[in-house]
Chains A and B, each alone.
Chain A
């Protein structure tokens, strides 16, 4: 086994070397090595890890693209795994998982796209929506107007198989689709899908050949203050399916499916309102192999929502399902529900946001028989207090009243509470949270009292990060003949991030004690190494020019790039008249300097040093008034435009959430993220509003070799307040 792991490690190098020789292709990818060791003591039947000892896997992702012109490109992607792990596969070996080659041309007399390998076959929910392995061609004849488009798509491929046991005839799809889109008029589609499966005497399945045809339309229109959209599809099924009472009962069937939906979104005074009404009907023999709808069902649904000025969102639903309507085994399910999301009770409890969800459901079947009434109430709310302490409280009530089953009903009640706050230990910073859930289940076979406390910790320092969690579950069954269990689960994960490599170690332990019964101790120790590789980027359209950074006149951000000698940079800053640097931390230089002339807000240059060179640098820009959301949004956009004028369009943008009155809380709960990045020869320039433990809201423009993932929002200059 160790030899194979060594071979997997060697694989890292040839991939990189060979790929660099290709001309005209841009490529990137990553390799991931996972080595895991598992062990269990005690009752083996209760372990979450059924396979002990060492298991390893080596994964490769590779993507390449070649662009002949702005209108023509070829693309290749590959994902595969060399596995010696029972947790990955029952067999050892190399497993190609996804392979795709795509070629698209807009300069051809008939613009086209070709795909071979793995792709998503998607015409409509009622005809085909599944991943396929085969080929696809799409033609888009030019209509002479950008307001009208045609698309012809033909595809052929198999679903639900892996490359090592590929049998096209085990689940073979062929299909065609025509789609016409006209601005203002809507979209119209015709779809056809054929599915074939060969018979299998061992599995007892018959050969299956089926065809489904459908016509679909979507028509937008306006009615008063409401923007409406009507969508409908009618589909016919003819052929074989797997049968309702034995395989033979599915041979030579035909049936129909129908879908329609009216959707409205309000405007002006009705802007907060949106609603939709949906009707669906599928016969018992409407069973296309590639569709995602449920056969033998009629659905009638109404949804409506209203967004209050306080950002409170109220949504309601009424649903009526009739399952088995066509086969004579009718189950009626009627549901009515209300959901309230946002700043709950804003007048009484300002700052608390959360979610209230309730529904009533009745399920009836006179044949089975079933007569169940369900009442579900659930609510939770959280608030962050000054000092960064966040409380979360929640409660739930579920009355599952199975009237047709003696003593079959149960009422579940639970409450939860958690506290989160920041933590700082020996230079490591992060957050810690702890709390728990109390649950009581009355009635039925699962009557019990449950106590489930948990705690977690996340800390980071530079390139190091640690996540740890511990949870305990005490499940006390009220029936003395049943088994009580106590379990403790711990997880500790450490990660070290380099620009091109990520190393990780993780240990998970599970301890479970059953009374009466035995105990089970199980663990997993995992080591991971991810290596990123890519072709050196060259200048691309829409990206910043990669010429040398200017050395005279006003300072340019690229002059602060990582790796620059501090001495020469200080000389440059002195030449600009900047002398009085402050040092909030030993390796941090700060200058008051208006680098972006057109921005009035206070700007400070920050330079993090490491061994006489710039490690990370940037510009810190304060907001004048964080309380005014509109002002914050406008100033941020002005800074962004200022950078776009200097460095061109951003290479990437990541936005989450909107500017709203709860901006400070949103930033500190990662509900609001604004990032724009420019990749230049000198490094990546990032503009954003990072999350800080002191809750200060400000913009930062940083230059670094690389940045953490966009969702890792704590990338601020921590020592500069």
Chain B
């Protein structure tokens, strides 16, 4: 089975915030709180200096992957590409121009899903939201028809899904 190592950085915009230009391309500090007044304030507000990492439920992740793959080669695909995805318009233009119009991406299996980080960030409107990064390995096949007949292209991809939800 061929392995496609395309890394897809996607937004599953649970808050449905418009994707504005907020695309820092190098890492940010996720603070490790020490017992100082600031941390005590954080505890008062949130219950712990560093809130525990809660895995995004697998069914939510699978549903997200299914929605993304179903949207492939349709106008809806655009909404799932993060502003942090490298050259999103170029990918969309290439799919629009080069992939057969009736081609569909069939999800075969979601092999693993792991929430690797969670932090509070400001969204495009400046509101605090909880952002989770989830690494997913999924198998899929592109199906289309050419003059040579039915075509099936299998691949395994690692996706980075970004889930956002507004905190309390």
Contacts and interface: CB of A to CB of B under 8 A. Distances in A.
A87 to B, nearest CB: 5
Contacts of A439: 101-102
A700 B88 CA distance: 40
A26 B5 CA distance: 35
B24 A656 contact: no
A442 interface: no
Contact of A335 (B21, B43, B93): B93
B52 A482 contact: no
A374 B97 contact: yes
A452 B93 CA distance: 23
A540 B115 CA distance: 22
Contacts of B119: none
Contacts of A357: 75, 78
Contacts of A520: 150
Interface in B11-64: 14-16, 18, 20-29, 31-36, 38-39, 43, 46-50, 52-53, 55, 57-60, 63
Contact of B150 (A45, A57, A63, A112): A45
B15 to A, nearest CB: 6
Contacts of A149: 29, 31
A537 to B, nearest CB: 12
A87 B109 contact: yes
B15 A655 contact: yes
Nearest to B154: A50
B101 A335 contact: no
A538 interface: no
A166 interface: no
B121 interface: no
Contact of A276 (B21, B49, B50): B21
Nearest to A361: B93
B149 A45 contact: yes
Interface residues of B, number: 80
B91 to A, nearest CB: 11
Contact of A649 (B34, B47, B59): B47
Contacts of A483: 145, 147, 149
B81 interface: no
A517 B150 CA distance: 11
A482 B86 CA distance: 38
Given A67-B48, A125-B25, A441 B101 contact: yes
Interface residues of A, number: 132
A191 interface: yes
Interface string B131-146: 0010101010101011
A210 interface: no
B28 A181 contact: yes
A511 to B, nearest CB: 12
A231 interface: yes
Contact of A106 (B28, B34, B60, B133): B34
B149 A98 contact: no
B86 A292 contact: yes
A131 interface: yes
Contacts of B16: 656-658, 671
A120 B117 contact: yes
Contacts of B86: 125, 292-294
Contact of B111 (A81, A100, A292, A376): A81
Given A131-B158, A274-B21, 9 more contacts: A102-B53, A113-B32, A129-B7, A319-B89, A514-B149, A517-B149, A655-B165, A709-B60, A711-B63
Report the 9 A-B pairs with minimum CB-CB distance, sorted nearest first.
A542-B47, A124-B26, A97-B112, A46-B150, A541-B47, A655-B166, A111-B32, A276-B21, A98-B114
30 contacts: A48-B106, A48-B143, A70-B33, A70-B48, A85-B109, A97-B111, A106-B49, A118-B114, A119-B116, A120-B117, A122-B27, A149-B31, A179-B29, A187-B24, A191-B26, A216-B26, A233-B25, A259-B25, A261-B23, A263-B23, A265-B21, A357-B78, A374-B93, A398-B96, A483-B147, A649-B46, A649-B47, A654-B166, A658-B16, A711-B60
